Structure 1
Amino acid sequence: MLAAYLPIALLLLFATGLAILVVVIGESFGPKNPNRIKGSPYESGMTPLGEGTRRQPIRFYRVAMLFILFDIEVVFFLPWAVVFRSLGLFGLIEMAIFIVIVLVGYVYAWQKGALEWD
């Protein structure tokens, strides 16, 4: 039974070994001349205007988290749509419950003002 997974294990082992080898070779043979300019953030070839490490407003993280939460539902919708006919009524009811839960989360985020940019 586990013999069927041997090619996958070998592929993962090979990919991990290759990644480690590339990093080691790069660190060993790469030029080492650090300076202040290399440590500064790149701003499209323009002179940096300020500090590159400033705090971002929380609204960006809030929007990103909501995007991730509501984007995960697509991960469940696509396989369900592919096998919809073979699941029958049980699959339809199960997905309806999932959609209701997602909509409750959406309404909750809306009521709490998480979708407002101000």
Structure 2
Amino acid sequence: MARILVVDDEAIIALALSMLLEDHGHEVEVASNGRAALAAASNAPPDLLITDYMMPLMNGAELIAAIRSSDELRHVPIILSSAADEAQIRAATMAYDGFVAKPASKARILQEVERLLGR
């Protein structure tokens, strides 16, 4: 079982992702923006972080930059999930480990989660 931090400002997406991951044996914490996610990750580093790109207060690129600059968190694998074109996102950040385009199938999400958890 892995501890996964899900970050999305759309509550229904965060809930659906959380339920999917919990159904597959993971412990999930949810944050609604990058600032809240950074605080949660700093308190208890997750085994994996899944973040949306477009969010208020601190977007996905800013969150990823903050995670990668932290000695305690830089090792955490990150999945970036977005409806935006990945090529546009790559211009803002390349420091994530996996990308899942929205909307994504359950199988695709789980495939990327398991790949990054080394299973």
Q: TM-score, normalised by structure 1?
A: 0.19
User: Which structure has the higher relative contact order (CA within 8 Å, separation 6+)?
Assistant: 2
Over alpha carbons, which structure has the higher Rg?
1
